Amino acid sequence: MSKNNKDFSLSDEFIKKHINMIKELYEGEIFLDNEVLNSKNKTKSNFVLFDKDWLDKWKTIVGYETLKEKCIKCKTEADVNSLINEVRNLFIQLNTKEKLDKLGKMESSKLKKISSKKSYLNEESNFVPKLAFNSMFFTKSINGMITINSEISKGIIYIYEPFPEKNKEQKLILLYKGNEQNKDFKKSIITLPKDENVKNVIKDLSKKNIEEILNQKEYNIKNINPISNKEGEKAKDEGEKKKKEIEDDLEKSKPKARRSSLKENGLHTKLDPENLLKYPKAQRRSVSFGQVNTFLFKKMKANFEEKTDDTDSKKVNKEEHKKFVEFRKKSIKNEFLLVKEMMKKDQNTIKELEDSDEEVKKNTDQNVKIGKEELNEEDSSERSNNNSNDSQNED
């Protein structure tokens, strides 16, 4: 289920139905505690028996504790309509519809026992009574609804099987809350002989309060105090917890001053890349907006250095020098030929150039030397070739 508050997949009819269910259930609980159980006169009332486990889960799913005070104030259709959007938003947060589909209907068969192919109320099952006229909206949510007529006196509800098993002991169930209001029911089960008249027993007990009844030794009494189990208590605790979470969410949703939280542990304000690598999981520390020069990234600039291998470098330089020398020899050869021709024509011109510039003289001598070596190498090569050719001609 989407948690978007604009999600209208929950129909208005679905919302209204559950507002009325919450309203009538809460009204019934209040009326039962304040009017029925506190009545000084002996009365009779019709009750619907609810599986307490199922009811506790239902209350948690629909946010009963959060909504009951608001729903009970709905006196008209207009009041219900004004509450629809708020209830829809809560149902979306609680994922109510999906959870109700998973919960399913209440199965009253869990409250029964089968004997001789007939169904009887299981007195030890985990049920709670709800006034029948305050359970009308639950009719479609209960499979096999159990409705009973009970007598009430001095805060005690007397429940018994109107058609008990033949030749079997009879069970009289007492439900009461003592002096505490709006708490879970307590249960006591009185086992009676098969031929005992249950109505006469109730007539006698209705004159006494629960303390007096429990102290009677002539009855076989089993106490179950209170009617609850771990699952029911867990559901109740979850309901209270969810209520607190919703209140906290509403509080957090209020606008607050703009602030950024950047945590840091053991680092300086400047972002040093070495520290970033050293403390990759450092916490942030609080920094306010509007400050200038908060972050300095000078040390974060990338530096690129080219690393060379000295051995390879020397090898390359040696080869390049060799190529350079060969190229220079060829170049100087041509220059030396020109110089040689000039020397033949005018020795004084050469001498004048050499005396005027020591650097020129030095370079000239070097060029002359290399030029002679190149010429000598060529002369030697030519003589070798000529000798070789002469030998071949003689053959």
Residues 6+ apart with CB under 8 A from 360: 353, 354
Angle at 144 between CA 141 and CA 145, to 5 degrees: 70
Q: Which tens digit of pLDDT belongs to each residue from 321-350?
A: 777 777 777 666 665 666 566 666 655 555
pTM of the model: 0.57
pLDDT for position 6: 45
Q: Which tens digit of pLDDT belongs to each residue from 129-158?
A: 999 999 999 999 999 999 999 999 999 999
pLDDT > 90: what percent of the chain?
43
Q: Label the pairing between strands 146-153 and 156-160.
A: antiparallel
Q: How many CA atoms lie within 13 A of 227 on its CB side?
A: 26
Tokens read off for 348: 């004084």
Residue 176 phi/psi, 5-degree rounding, is -160, 165
pLDDT for position 178: 67
What b/e string do you get for 302-326 counting C-beta neighbours within 10 Å, with b at 16 or more? eeeeeeeeeeeeeeeeeeeeeeeee
Q: How confident is the model at residue 225 (pLDDT cuts 50, 70, 90)?
A: confident
Domain ranges (residues) in the chain: 12-237, 260-304, 310-394
